[in-house]
Amino acid sequence: MSQLILKPGRERSALRRHPWIFDGAVDRLAGRARSGDTVEVASADGRVLGRAAWSPDSRIRARVWSFDPAETIDDAFFKRRIAQALSRRTDLPGLATQQGLRLLHAESDGLPGVICDCYGDTLVLALSSAGAEKWRDAIVGALIKATGCARIYERSDADLRTLEGLPVRCGWLHGEEGSAFPVIEESGVRMAVDIVAGHKTGFYLDQRENRLACRQLAQGRRVLNCFCYTGGFSLQALAGGAASVLSVDSSGPALISAANNLALNPQLDAQRAEWREADVFAELRVLAAAGERFDLIVLDPPKFAPSPAHAERAARAYKDINLYGFRLLAPGGILMTYSCSGGIGIELFQKIVAGAAQDAKVEARIVQRLSAAADHPVLLDFPEGEYLKGLVCQIG
């Protein structure tokens, strides 16, 4: 096995069990390794620190599979890791019965570059690292054995694959081709998931508990849901007894899917829902100029800052939408605002939202902090995994 030797003093991150080894920490590769091959990670003084997947085309030059130098990376390794990940979820109250569930959450489940979401009897697998690509067959086989799923669809189309020198790969991996729109039920609301062309693996499972929080706040309120995508927050607000829900998104196809999802739920009053295709930044200004006011506003924008390098530009975008969010609130109104940008930490996000409230000349209080659902754990040694952060702010 080839050995990846670190520069003097650059082993500290690995000793803290952080799974990423950047190119700047690498002294040399002793031996030969192809993309995705397992290499031994060693400090400059020869201490073996673990075993990792080699990725010569990425700034993250290696992703650690195991910090046990004696652990073999083979088919049995992936069977163990996947079984452990599934067990962690069945041990948590409320997760075992979910029809939509994240089964594998990459680094936080000890499987860098491996994402797997479950929608009923269909799994959607996303592989984004060279090591995950190398062990595709082992991962698929372990998932089939551990879950007994009817089918697996691959959505390995994230931008990260380009950084790893990998091509896009999408298609059915296991079982007969099933519906591209499996239907799941979440908190009593049915949703069709576009696993082929939808965002991520088709749905934002990480917002499950936050959609429920929205439902619990919606009773009798006039609701504005911005960046509504396929209507997850909107439908939960209707289920919670919202007086009305205006949902805004720039994607016409997403809004068609949202309306179709509403039709899957005849128990919800469709007369209380309005779907509006518009640029959210512009529409917020239009609503403010028209003197509109809402009792509950949801701001769940796409990722404005994929890395810290984009933070400054992203901060301006977050400031803008939150400023108008506060301006559009009725007295005593509530703003549920989110950032899924890894390049924006919770402290910076709170500072941005506070600045927006000041500029809107409202007095606002944080009444709740929100994060990803429990099936999206954050490994304590990998704080980068805490990408989703949310604040529930009340004015007045």
Domain match, 89 and 214 both: no
Residues 33 and 140 in one domain: no
Domain with 87, as residue range(s), is 75-174
Q: Are residues 80 and 30 in the same domain?
A: no
Residue 192 lies in a domain: no
CATH number for the domain spanning 353: value is 3.40.50.150
Is residue 362 included in any domain, yes or no? yes
Asked whether residue 194 is assigned to any structural domain, the reply reads no
Distance CA 45, CA 62 (A): 19
Nearest to 204 by CA among 228, 180, 181: 228
Cα 205 from Cα 118, distance rounded (Å): 10
Single residue among 156, 174, 192 that ends a domain in this structure: 174
Catalytic residue, chosen from 118, 149, 214, 340, is 340
Q: Is residue 181 part of a domain?
A: no
Residues 248 and 386 in one domain: yes
Q: Which pLDDT belongs to residue 90? A: 93
Q: Which of 66, 88, 110 is the last residue of a domain?
A: 66
* Backbone angle region of 45, left / alpha / beta, with phi > 0 → left and psi within -120 to 50 → alpha: alpha
Strand partners, 184: 191
Residues 47 and 108 in one domain: no
Domain co-membership, 367 together with 246: yes
Q: How many structural domains compose the chain? A: 3
CB 230 within 8 A of CB 261: yes
Buried b (16+ CB within 10 A) or exposed e, 36-74: bbbbbbbbeeeeebbbbbbbbebebbbbbbbbeeeeebe
* Residue-level pLDDT at 342: 85
Residue closest to 199 by CA, chosen among 152, 142, 250, 140? 250
Tell me, yes or no, whether 303 and 248 share the same domain.
yes
Distance, CA of 166 to chain centre: 21
Contacts of 256 (CB under 8 A, 6+ apart): none
Consecutive H or E run containing 17: none
What is d(CA 303, CA 59) in angstroms, rounded to the nearest whole number? 21
Domain boundary among 174, 192, 219: 174
| One domain, residues 216 and 360 | yes
Q: Is 116 a catalytic residue?
A: no
For residue 180, being part of any structural domain is answered with no
State the Cα–Cα distance between residues 56 and 46, nearest whole angstrom.
Answer: 22
Identity at 274, one-letter amino acid code: E
Q: What is the pLDDT of residue 16?
A: 96
Same structural domain, 229 and 306 = yes
Q: What is the CATH number of the domain that holds 48?
A: 2.30.130.10
Give the integer Cα–Cα distance in Å for 3 and 40.
Answer: 5
Q: Are 247 and 109 found together in one domain?
A: no
Specify the pLDDT at position 276. Answer: 98
Q: What local confidence, expressed as pLDDT, does residue 305 receive?
A: 67
Asked whether residue 391 is domain-assigned, the answer is yes
Whose tokens are 């400059």? That residue is 44
- C-beta of residue 132 within 8 angstroms of C-beta of residue 52: no
Token code pair at residue 319 = 């400031």
pLDDT digits (tens), the chain, 396 positions: 999 999 999 999 999 999 999 999 999 999 999 999 999 999 999 999 999 999 999 999 999 999 999 999 999 999 999 999 999 999 998 898 999 999 999 999 999 999 999 999 999 999 999 999 999 999 999 999 999 999 999 999 999 999 999 999 999 999 988 889 999 999 999 999 999 999 999 999 999 999 999 999 999 999 999 999 999 999 999 999 999 999 999 999 999 999 999 999 999 999 999 999 999 999 999 999 999 999 999 999 988 867 777 778 889 999 999 999 999 999 999 999 999 988 889 999 999 999 999 999 999 999 999 999 999 999 999 999 999 999 999 999
Same domain (yes/no): 349, 257: yes
What SS3 string covers 39-60?
Answer: EEEECCCCCEEEEEEECCCCCE
191 occurs within a structural domain: no
Indicate whether 137 belongs to any domain: yes
Instruction: Give the N- to C-terminal CA distance of the chain in Å, as an integer.
Output: 64
pTM: 0.94
- DSSP string for residues in 184-206: EEETTEEEE--TTTSSTTSS-GG
CATH number of 137's domain: 3.30.750.80
Residue 93 confidence (pLDDT): 87
Tell me: do 232 and 330 sit in the same domain.
yes
> Quick check: 128 and 157 in contact, CB under 8 A?
no
Query: Which DSSP category does 32 fall into?
Result: -
For residues 128 and 158, the answer to whether their CB atoms sit within 8 Å is yes
